[in-house]
Amino acid sequence: MLALVYLVLCFSFGYVFCTFVFPGLSAYCDKYHDGRALGLSRAFILIPAWYITGTVFVTWITYISSYIFQSAAKPMFYGNIVSMGFAFAVSVTGILIVIFGKKEKLQIFVGPRRITAAEIIFMICAVGITLTLMYGTFFVRDGRLYVGVSVFSDFSPHIGMIRSFSLGNNFPTTYSHFAGVDIRYHFMFQFMVGNLEFLGMRLDHAFNVPSALSFIFAIFLLYALAMRLTGKKAAGVLSVVFFLFRSSPSLLTYMGSLEKNTVYKTLVQNSAFIGYTVHEDWGLWNLNVYCNQRHLASGICILLLLIHLFLDNLFDMTKRWAAFSEEHKRRVNERRLAEEERRLEEYEAMRAEAEENGEEEPEPYKPLRESKLEAAFDNIGSFIAMSFFTKEGWVPKRWLTAVGAGLLLGASAFLNGAAVLTTIMVMFVFAAAADRRLEFLITAVIATALSKLQTWFFAPTAEVVKPKLQYGFIAENPSLFGTFDYVMRLCGILIPVLFVAFVFVKGIKKWIFLAFSIPFLFAFYVSLTADVTVNHKYIMLSIMLMNIFAAWLVTRLLEHKSGWLKMLAAVIIVLMTMTGIYDYFTVLKKNTPNGGCLTYGLEDPLVDWISQNTTSQDIFLTSHYSLSRPVLGGAMLFEGHAYYPMTLGYDTNLRYKLTKEMFQSTDRNELIRLIRENLITYVIIDNDARTSFDFNLNEDIFRQTFECVYREGEGLWETDIYDTSKLLTE
């Protein structure tokens, strides 16, 4: 119940924040940028905006308050009292001001357009697809927790962080798979989930509800953005369809590799991700990404909301340029006519003088002609003068909105870093051709300052980001042609569709298209982490945005009178979605309860013992776990599965070596020294440790050195926990 109250307070806080800080949100839904009625329900922007702003800010207040009370037995109890009390006070005060004051309301169900039956069906489809994905990969049934095989590996650090808050006391916060140092992972979504579980929501609901809300609202905001850019409802729907079901030739290639008489049977029975580029078998590009990277959808909401907030800066510049250009052309034509008259008078005078002197007449008069190149340079120069050397090009009108956007973006740095960086890249290109550039600058300065502050606070001595040039992403042949071949095998028909769309799109929308493409290009040139594979998120977000123009082109073909072009549009839609649709059903088949999930008992004595007898400051020496029972208990691992801390820049090689030395130790004094130097509080010896390929366990030395404080099972499956503070006499 308290968890639901928390979510309601997030919505109400977000409503008040958006009402006072982003007052223009309602207007975005009412009119197209040229003044025509847009026909977009306000619900598609307002409700997502309320949710994402409310959850970001209220969750941060909860975290900061809990951090202040870290010495208490349950710091999150006090953190929630402060945050929920503050959110309630702000909500009530703001709503009363709206009701009794003169503040314009951000109303959903009024305005030029109400929600139609078609939009309700669209919403229901979005909710249905989202819930099947989230609850299809992580759910509770008959007292057991089911974790899908396509997500369990990524869920290891995620659930470890969640349980370190809901069952533990992870303040100051460290990484659950590399405990005792700092936190370089964007963990705020996991903190929110942990807080919902702490407030009484069952783990699967605590994880799935905010994940589903974020993904659904990302769909709403994408639909609204496509509507605002194209003015076409069909393009809005297709943008979402193309986002959900990726464009790829993989299904056709896969079908072509099968025996003709086995194609249907194999497609039905297959539960492996298909693809012919590196790591496609991971589900790196399909909907599975949003199942195992649950925090990504929240980042997408931030990205799309900020694009909505600053889109009018571009459209306002376009309107101003149209008026300026018209006036400039008039003046140029006047000067040209005056120059033409002057030259014509000079010619007539020369002709008369030649006739009077009996000389040969001059060559026939040639009117002035301006080359296209000269006209182009003149337009560029005029645009630069109009855009960069006028008050309108720089001076803000929406100071508070710019500050609010900066706070929201900066507060999202440890929610999803990839989405924040994508937003900054897109906004940077927007600013180059927009009015009121200082609004962008204010947002960027605040966001950067907050991001730096968080990085300093959570990882003061670490280089969280290590940029380096790395051409080709993960293409097998990172040359120009090799990379192009990789992109074509990955995206298929989408690439020529985007090329044609770019050719035909006009005006400022061509610049918007370029802005949307920047994260895609960035991913193929720069690596920020030890594993460049994580750049796939920049590519996915960029494609999501560029798909709006692909949807616009396909919609234009569908609206054309020619039946052949309508058929072409239908073929493009099929080719752009068939692999993605098959991927969607593969995700569901891959994670079925019978054989497609790892299961864990909700009532687990080991989990209960860890949660009741240890804190998040206790460091556990274990085998290199992925998702395990100790992780579910909130145990902070000296070194969990190495891939996750390695990608964050932690020195996993050193800890691997130390783990091996401790587990293989034959000298009691040396073991005690290593345990104390590395601040190990507990050692877990179980089947994973006994059968590990990473080290040869010397179990006897632990039995002879430390007191066993927990034991269950027998033989190879016995699980022992040793308390390193309780030494046995020799």
pLDDT at 419: 94
Could you tell me the two tokens for 18? 């958006």
Enumerate helices (H) and strands (E) in the chain, giving the number of each: 29, 10
Tokens of 712: 């269950």
Contact of 525 with 471, CB cutoff 8 Å: yes
Would the pTM of this model clear 0.75, i.e. be above it?
yes
Give 474's DSSP letter: T
Q: What pLDDT sits at residue 641? A: 87
Contacts of 322 (CB under 8 A, 6+ apart): none
The structure tokens listed for 496 are 């020529």
Residue 307 CB neighbour total at 10 angstroms: 23
> Cα 194 from chain centroid?
20
∠ CA 639-643-649 to the nearest 5 degrees? 80
Q: At 598, phi and psi to the nearest 5? A: -90, 140
pLDDT for residue 153: 87
**Beta-sheet pairing, 680-685 with 619-621:** parallel
Chain CA centroid to CA 652, Å: 27
Find the Cα–Cα–Cα–Cα dihedral 474, 476, 482, 484, rounded to 10°: -40
Q: Which residues contact 359 (CB under 8 A, 6 or more apart)?
A: 353
Predicted pLDDT of residue 319:
86
CB-based contact 189:416 (threshold 8 Å): yes
Alpha carbon distance 689, 699 (integer Å): 9
- What are the boundaries of each domain within the chain? 1-115, 299-356+370-458, 603-727
Element (H, E) at 118: helix 117-137
3-state SS of 364-422? CCCCCCCCHHHHHHHHHHHHHHHHHCCHHHCCCCCHHHHHHHHHHHHHCCCCCHHHHHH
Q: Which residues pair with 722 in a beta bridge?
A: 683, 708
Residues 228, 695: Cα–Cα separation, whole Å? 59
Residue corresponding to tokens 């509507």: 227
Provide the token pair at 298.
């929240």
Evaluate whether 312 touches 24 at the Cβ level (below 8 Å). yes
Whole-number Å distance between alpha carbons of 67 and 664: 38
**Residues paired with 680 in a beta bridge:** 619
pLDDT of residue 375: 61
pLDDT at 728: 85
Residue 305 CB coordination number (10 Å): 27
In degrees rounded to 5, what are phi and psi of residue 487?
-65, -40
pLDDT reported for residue 437: 94
| Closest alpha carbon to 231 in 561, 560, 500, 556 | 556
In 3D space, the residue among 417, 418, 649 whose CA is nearest the CA of residue 522 turns out to be 418
Residue 109's pLDDT is: 55
Instruction: Work out the angle at residue 233's Cα, subtended by the Cα atoms of residues 232 and 238, and round it to the nearest 5 degrees.
Output: 100
Query: How is residue 235 annotated by DSSP?
Result: H
Give the pLDDT of residue 377: 60
Answer whether 520's CB lies under 8 Å from 425's CB. no
d(CA 295, CA 191): 11
- Nearby residues of 436 by Cβ (< 8 Å), 6 or more positions away: 313, 316, 392, 393, 394, 395, 396, 397, 398
* Structure tokens that stand for 554 in this block: 């396909």
Mean pLDDT, 10 residues at a time, the chain of 730 residues: 95 95 87 82 94 98 96 94 97 89 65 75 95 96 93 92 94 93 93 97 97 98 96 95 97 92 92 92 94 95 98 90 70 70 73 71 69 63 76 90 97 94 96 94 96 92 80 92 95 97 94 97 92 93 98 96 94 97 95 88 92 93 88 92 87 93 94 95 94 91 94 91 88
pLDDT for position 365:
65
According to the model, what pLDDT value does residue 318 have?
A: 87
Cα gap 728→704, rounded to integer Å: 7
137 in Cβ contact with 587 (< 8 Å):
yes
Residue 241 corresponds to which tokens in the numbers above?
A: 């369809």
